[in-house]
Amino acid sequence: MVQVFDLCDRDGNGYITKEELSQICNQVSDEEVASSVLDNVMVCLDSNHDGHITFDEFKAGFEVRPCDSSCESALNNSCLPADISAAPS
């Protein structure tokens, strides 16, 4: 999970912005990921809504995800779920 976070945190400053999420999604996905989808993912993962996803938020977001159908569908529409589970740990 730390590796996945580091992968998403492209500039290594300890948190993921929507910009970085967009970059990683467009890098791993053949299809363009809609900005509205990324907005939903940010809302789901950024639990204190400061515009940054910290590792704790990132980890917590994926742990609670199965309980939250709207977040699950947002994440399913992004590039993240398959790559998270397939990522080498």
Minimum Å gap between C-beta 68 and Ca ion is: 16
Task: Give 81: exposed, middle or buried? Use CB within 10 Å, 0-12, 13-18, 19+.
Answer: middle
Residue 10's nearest CA partner among 26, 28, 27, 24 is: 24
The residue range among 11-19, 36-44, 69-77, 80-88 that interacts with Ca ion, by the rule CB under 5 A, is 11-19
Chain positions 30 to 69 lying near Ca ion, rule: CB under 5 A, are 46, 48, 50, 52
Minimum Å gap between C-beta 42 and Ca ion is: 9
| Separation between Cα atoms, residue 24 and residue 18, nearest integer Å | 10
In the complex, the residues that contact Ca ion under the rule CB under 5 A are 9, 11, 13, 46, 48, 50, 52
